[in-house]
Amino acid sequence: MSEPKKLFIKTYGCQMNVYDSERMVEALGGNGYVEVDSPEQADMVLLNTCHIREKAAEKVYSELGRLKLIKDERPDLKIGVAGCVAQAEGQEIMARAPVVDLVVGPQSYHRLPEMEKAIQKGEKPVDTDFPEEDKFEHLNKRARTLRGPTAFLTVQEGCDKFCAFCVVPYTRGAEVSRPKDRIVREAQELVDAGVREITLLGQNVNAYHGHEKGLAGLIWELAEIDGLDRIRFTTSHPNDMDDALVDAFGTCEKLMPYLHLPVQSGSDKILKAMNRKHTRDQYFHLIDRIRAKRPDLLLTSDFIVGFPGETDQDFEDTMDLVRRVEFGASFTFKYSTRPGTPAAEKPQLPDDVANERLYALQALITKQQRAAQDSMVGREVEVLFEKKGRLPGQIVGKSNYLHAVHAVGPESDIGQIRRVKIVESGPNSLAGVLV
């Protein structure tokens, strides 16, 4: 019996890339590949790339330079670039990095088995199409091997919003929703493999329309699965937060009290320049409605500072929005140009101005995050334990609010939801005792 071939995937960026990497492993499993922990062990290395942040492509080329050193020693090593940088740069990657054997975009990775066979024949395939067929239907069924208690599940891809700073519509394509029956089937497969919490993923997940009642309808249908105890979703657009989804936060027990709802700026002028198609007041009103349904909701967001044309007053409007909403945490970024997007053509702010604003916003967000965590001390929460901690006897998991929580407990509690009293708030996690 021949030895299995070994595959190493390095994943950049968002949770959707994490999900895609899992499916790539499954796709190549049919060609005899098993996953390993380092490129040095591998017969094939795939870089699953992200194109959202500044210098994303350059980071990929730097990694390819490191992989070339391995390939110089082992010429049979196969190297592939997948994901959004692959979609955006395609043939340029092959021209600039001859060490690469294949390039595949995020909508075409179901074709990896055929591409791998082409490599064995000496070809260097590039596939950055937006194929008409549903890639998910061409992938293997989810493996029934036992897995951790949490999982991502992609339900929607692409975006039609065309925010002025974003490359997603160009690298992931138009909004496409997977049919509900296929999602429910995959969710059941995950639960059968030991999963108890599923996070539904989409570039604009609350624009999901594969169920006649939208994302809320899908959540309610998934809530019927016995053994699925928790449901989350990310990431959302304020304009697609319909009444049914708002109501679900108050009525669906399996929908967790956590919401990531990017606003990007607190200035109406900048929101318009970003093509966000909502105002700060509309965002305030939406948050008020959701919190009326679920007062204990932990809310997080995304912010970009230093967007072209942002004045001191525009930035102060953002700071004011953050103070008024009081987020449990947020991601903050300094604007960086993405080639091909409308904002890239506008005059850019000086780096020192953007940096100063980023530091000020980060300080405020950090203060709010700390306050949110400190407020948990003395409370009891439900924790889904996922793994062993670094200390003897310690187990680690996530609360219903997505806080990382560690406690002393038996390994048999891994994969279980236990009630925990929070006794201490640390910089990035909470300490608790089992109740």
List the domains of the chain with CATH numbers: 5-127 (3.40.50.12160), 144-374 (3.80.30.20), 380-434 (2.40.50.140)
The pLDDT score that the predictor gives to residue 50 is 83
Percent of the residues in the chain that have a pLDDT greater than 70, as a whole number? 94
The pLDDT score that the predictor gives to residue 73 is 94
SS3 sequence, the chain?
Answer: CCCCEEEEEEECCCHHHHHHHHHHHHHHHCCCEEECCCHHHCCEEEEEECCCCCCHHHHHHHHHHHHHHHHHHCCCCEEEEEEHHHHHHCHHHHHHCCCCCEEECCCCHHHHHHHHHHHHCCCCCEECCCCCCCHHHHCCCCCCCCCCCEEEEEEEECCCCCCCCCCHHHHCCCCEECCHHHHHHHHHHHHHCCCCEEEEEECCHHHCCCCCCHHHHHHHHHCCCCCCCEEEEECCCHHHCCHHHHHHHHHCCCECCEEECCCECCCHHHHHHCCCCCCHHHHHHHHHHHHHHCCCCEEEEEEEECCCCCCHHHHHHHHHHHHHHCCCEEEEEECCCCCCCHHHHCCCCCHHHHHHHHHHHHHHHHHHHHHHHHCCCCCEEEEEEEEECCCCCEEEEEECCCCEEEEECCHHHCCCEEEEEEEEECCCCEEEEEC
Please classify residue 282 by burial: count the beta carbons closer than 10 Å to its beta carbon, then call 0-12 exposed, 13-18 middle and 19+ buried: middle
Contact 383, 397 (CB under 8 A): yes
Could you tell me which of 302, 306, 359 has the C-alpha nearest to residue 325?
Answer: 302
The pLDDT score that the predictor gives to residue 17 is 86
- Count of residues in the chain: 435
The pLDDT score that the predictor gives to residue 135 is 57
Q: What Cα–Cα distance (Å) separates residue 71 from each residue in 64, 114, 267, 409?
A: 10, 22, 50, 45
Residue 56 CA to residue 341 CA, distance in Å, equals 15
- pLDDT tens column, 171-208: 788 899 999 999 999 999 999 999 999 999 999 999 99
The pLDDT score that the predictor gives to residue 168 is 85
The more confidently predicted of residues 217 and 106 is: 217
The pLDDT score that the predictor gives to residue 145 is 60
- pLDDT tens column, 143-179: 556 689 999 999 998 899 999 999 888 878 889 999 9
Confidence of residue 137 (pLDDT cuts 50, 70, 90): low
Q: Phi and psi for 40 in degrees, rounded to 5?
A: -65, -25
The pLDDT score that the predictor gives to residue 54 is 60
Contact 106, 89 (CB under 8 A): no
The pLDDT score that the predictor gives to residue 88 is 81
The more confidently predicted of residues 285 and 50 is: 285
The more confidently predicted of residues 129 and 252 is: 252
Confidence of residue 215 (pLDDT cuts 50, 70, 90): very high
Neighbours of 141 (CB within 10 A): 9
Structure tokens that stand for 378 in this block = 């003395």
- pLDDT tens column, 359-380: 999 999 999 999 999 999 999 9
SS3 sequence, 318-339?
Answer: HHHHHHHHCCCEEEEEECCCCC
Percent of the residues in the chain that have a pLDDT greater than 90, as a whole number? 77
Answer yes or no: is pLDDT of 2 > 80: no
Residue 324 CA to residue 314 CA, distance in Å, equals 15
Answer yes or no: is pLDDT of 134 > 80: no
The more confidently predicted of residues 120 and 224 is: 224
The pLDDT score that the predictor gives to residue 129 is 76
Structure tokens that stand for 56 in this block = 């994303």
Pairing of strands 150-157, 176-177: antiparallel
Residue 262 CA to residue 234 CA, distance in Å, equals 10
The pLDDT score that the predictor gives to residue 427 is 87
Query: With b meaning 16 or more CB within 10 Å and e meaning fewer, what string describes 190-201?
Result: bbeebbbbbbbb
Residues whose CB falls within 8 Å of the CB of residue 209, separated by 6 or more in sequence, listed in order: 177
Residue 27 CA to residue 19 CA, distance in Å, equals 12
252 is annotated as contributing to ligand binding: no
> For the residues 97-113, what does the mean pLDDT come to?
90
Residues whose CB falls within 8 Å of the CB of residue 56, separated by 6 or more in sequence, listed in order: 12, 13, 49, 50, 84, 85
The pLDDT score that the predictor gives to residue 30 is 81
The pLDDT score that the predictor gives to residue 87 is 85
Mean per-residue pLDDT over the chain, rounded: 92
> For the residues 228-242, what does the mean pLDDT come to?
97
Answer yes or no: is pLDDT of 407 > 60: yes
Answer yes or no: is pLDDT of 132 > 60: no
> For the residues 244-250, what does the mean pLDDT come to?
98
- pLDDT tens column, 43-85: 999 999 887 666 677 888 899 999 999 999 999 999 999 988 8
Rounded to 10 degrees, what is the CA torsion of 304, 305, 309, 314?
Answer: 110
The pLDDT score that the predictor gives to residue 280 is 98
Pairing of strands 298-305, 78-83: unpaired
